[in-house]
Chains A and B, each alone.
Chain A
Amino acid sequence: MNGCFLKNMTKTFVVDGSIVRALNGLDLNVPKGAFISIVGYSGCGKSTLLKTIIGLITPDSGSLDFVGMDGRTGIVFQEPRLIASKSVKKNLALALKHQKDPAIKGKTIDEVIAMLGLTAFSNALPWQLSGGMAQRVALGRALCRQPELLLMDEPFGALDALNRTRLQDELIDIYLNKAITILFVTHDVCEAVFLGNRVIVMADGQVSRDIPVPLSYPRDKTSRGFISIQNEVLEAIVEEDKPHDQCGQIIGTRRKLCQKQRLREVTPG
């Protein structure tokens, strides 16, 4: 099977003198062409996982293999991380530094800009863009690299509901048209089920549950099947979210919120 395979991945950090295991012998198979959503409570290792795959963090042990994939990756963070002094076009051009042919470079940038509906803003500076547009540029920058594996770390987390919904739809279009593999980290269970064809629940630096989402696109968030999978994911998160001495109170509050969200979603009307 082609894809990206992580085996026994470990990474520890020292935070205020205590050791934190961000990745704790994690095994994960990401088949080529999959769209995997990753959820889990804060600090369970989701972002560390993405940063390890893209090479920002060196793991303490474990292996990362790309089979049938060239390992080209792109990443989108929660913040657009655009260079304030560069126009949209120039921000995208940064991602194409290996492309020496200016004609191909220009064509790739123009195509990505058109695909994301940013043509009118191609020469705009980041401060002239709305939050949603800036995040589109960040997505465009990742897509310019024509990645086989696109990593997304809560990319829509800071957007308003309208922009978030639009970008979710656009991302599904990109996924379906580009046959790209996506690893999508989110805190929003509804978003995870809406986008992914698998939802991975992470806890304590490991994969605790792998829940398939056998629903076709576009998905109806109010359908019985959707709500049922969403509840299953919520249950899995709450199950893994075992309180311990230091943060019992926070986790307790979060659990109540999860239950509240679940109740709201299963209650008709």
Chain B
Amino acid sequence: MGTMKILKARVLKQSAFPLLLLFIYLMVCRYNLANPYLIPRPGQIGNTFITLVAKGILQQHIFMSLRRVFIGFFITLGAALPLAVLFYFSHRLSQFFLGTLHFLRCTPPLSLVPLLILWFGIGEASKLAVIILASFFPVFLNTLSGLEQVDSQLLEMGDTLELNKREKIVHILIPEALPTVLTGMRLAFGYSWRALIGAEMIAAASGLGYMILDAQEMARTDKVFVGILTIGFLGLVFDMVTMRIIEKRFPWAVKEKI
């Protein structure tokens, strides 16, 4: 079977269930099986979407949410990646801190929101803190585990080629750990996206989470639907784009792990 045929078959399979849901939704609306307040009609959602886009409101909320996610995500990368490398090389350090880190890993970031608001206020800092807490552990633990899983036989091979420590890190450790690191980063992005929406629903004056909560308070389910669909759609697009970049840049990583 050709690549195009496989791709078509995959797309068809993956869209079957959403299409079924859409069909059920259209039938519910067509035969008035649910209260329009609870499940708004497609036209109503479409109109609201167009209005929000035309006024620039939706773009503004999307921009705010994305800005927070990207800043938080990159701060996470800056902290988690070097720390994982440090822990890999220092057994003593990892013994000292791993227990605490595992405790924090088991604590849902959203449960810390009240404390974070008290400490950092309702500004950007508390929301960034939530994103960092949500994305730190997937990146940190996957990087550490990726490094630890590098085949010792490869490092032995590096010794036979007289590679020094730096060369072994650059040529063996990092490339070999990369598939696991990338998986961690992909997971982390999804986690931070979800955590951000939660944080915005609790304490924010902008962003998609805030927009949904505000719409709920105004009894605008159509606007809530626009918010939810936008969040899901953006999450999916980012995941697909990340996956495509990984496939293109690191084909061996996709082959091996993802």
Which residues of A are interface residues toward B (Cβ below 8 A)?
A: 54-56, 74-75, 77, 79, 81, 83-86, 94-95, 97-98, 125-127, 141, 145
Contact = CB atoms under 8 A, between A and B. Distances in A.
A94 B161 contact: yes
B252 A54 contact: no
B161 A95 contact: yes
B169 interface: no
A207 B162 CA distance: 29
B160 A75 contact: yes
Contact of A85 (B163, B167, B175): B175
B160 A94 contact: no
Query: At the interface, is chain A mostly helix, strand, loop or mixed?
Result: loop
Contacts of A77: 153, 157
B250 interface: yes
A184 B159 CA distance: 20
A261 B253 CA distance: 43
B75 interface: no
Contacts of B62: none
A125 B157 contact: no
A83 B151 CA distance: 10
Contacts of A54: 160
Contacts of A74: 160
Interface residues of B, number: 22
Closest 5 CB pairs of A and B: A85-B175, A81-B157, A84-B252, A127-B255, A75-B160
A54 B157 CA distance: 11
A77 B159 CA distance: 13
A83 B176 contact: yes
B160 A127 contact: no
A84 to B, nearest CB: 5
Contacts of A125: 251-252
B162 A81 contact: no
A145 B157 CA distance: 13
Contact of A56 (B156, B175, B176, B253): B156
Nearest to A138: B157
A83 B161 CA distance: 13
A145 B162 CA distance: 11
